[in-house]
Amino acid sequence: MRRTDFLRLAIRATAALALALPFAAAHAADKIKFGVFPSSAALPFYIAQNRGWFKEAGLEVEEVPMTSHPLTVQAIVAGSIDGAANLVTLEGANMEARRRGTLKYISLNGQNSQHVIEQFVVKASSPAKSLKDFKGGFKLFSAPGPANIGAARAVLRKVGLVENKDFTIQEQQIGVHLGALQSGNFDGGYTLEPAATIMVAQNIGRRVETGVIATYLLGRKDASAFAAGAVLSDKFIAERPDVAKRFAAVWARGVKAAQTDSSTRGYLVQGMKVPPELAATVPLPRIVPVSELSAADVADFQKFLDIGTELGVIKEQIDGKSVVKAM
């Protein structure tokens, strides 16, 4: 090949590459870092991820495992994550009360004895039949974070128990709850799904009562205790509104699938390490996109936040409408 021909080809190749690069950049997937705490309420995330719905929307969503809700809030404030699948609302609202414009919930998880997440469990061999039996120095663990242990303590006070007299309670990461019962170091605890389903199936634990926030703190078994939800940072929403809107649309699609298609529970096997034979039996909360909240839902949410203020988890009164956003 003559030098002139070589140079001509090189120039054409360079020009073609120059034209192709902007096109490729324009169609590159938008990257999002999303925090996931080990609760079955993260199912919409796993559905969307595994079915390729994020990819279809031009999104590349990275799962960032979170071990506690305070760490999730810190990660949002620091900008390490753009949102989270299941952040406790009391801790999210507390941050928003202290620092306005930090985060917004795009869906809320309603919990009660029908839509189960939080519950008290005991060792399978325990004689305890009700919460009132947690006496005689009963050793309890709690799901981590001020909101979880605060709710557990408040429920036990409601049934007439006295801490450090009838029972003791310590925060423990969700991943060690099963081992905590199995080892005999604890008599029972306040745990979440899917951990409870796994320990019951393995005959290590036994449920004592589910939906305790609705029953004892909101005062109605059929109330929706909106104790957690999916959240996006305000910075992410403001700086990347189109990306946030596309993410929220996919999330809503995942929510609908989670609640109408029982086969989606299978995604908990890989995501939450649920044994395959148990996936279909794991309870889910009533996940509600903010745009679909009813007047009764809004009232239940506000009452729960007010209780959080009474417990000292939220430092000052806050309007529930200020921490949610319909996308």
pLDDT in tens, the chain (327 residues): 444 443 454 445 444 444 444 444 456 889 999 999 888 999 999 999 999 999 999 999 999 999 888 899 999 999 999 999 999 999 999 999 999 999 999 999 999 999 999 999 999 999 999 999 999 999 999 999 999 999 999 999 999 999 999 999 999 999 999 999 999 999 999 999 999 999 999 999 999 999 999 999 999 999 999 999 999 999 999 999 999 999 999 999 999 999 999 889 999 998 888 899 998 889 999 999 999 999 999 999 999 999 999 999 999 999 999 999 998
pTM equals 0.85
Instruction: Kindly list the distances between the CA atom of residue 106 and the CA atoms of 209, 220, 224, 259, 271, in Å, as whole numbers in the listed order.
Output: 29, 25, 16, 17, 22
Length of the chain in residues, anyone? 327
Asked whether 48 and 83 are in contact (CB, 8 A), the reply is no
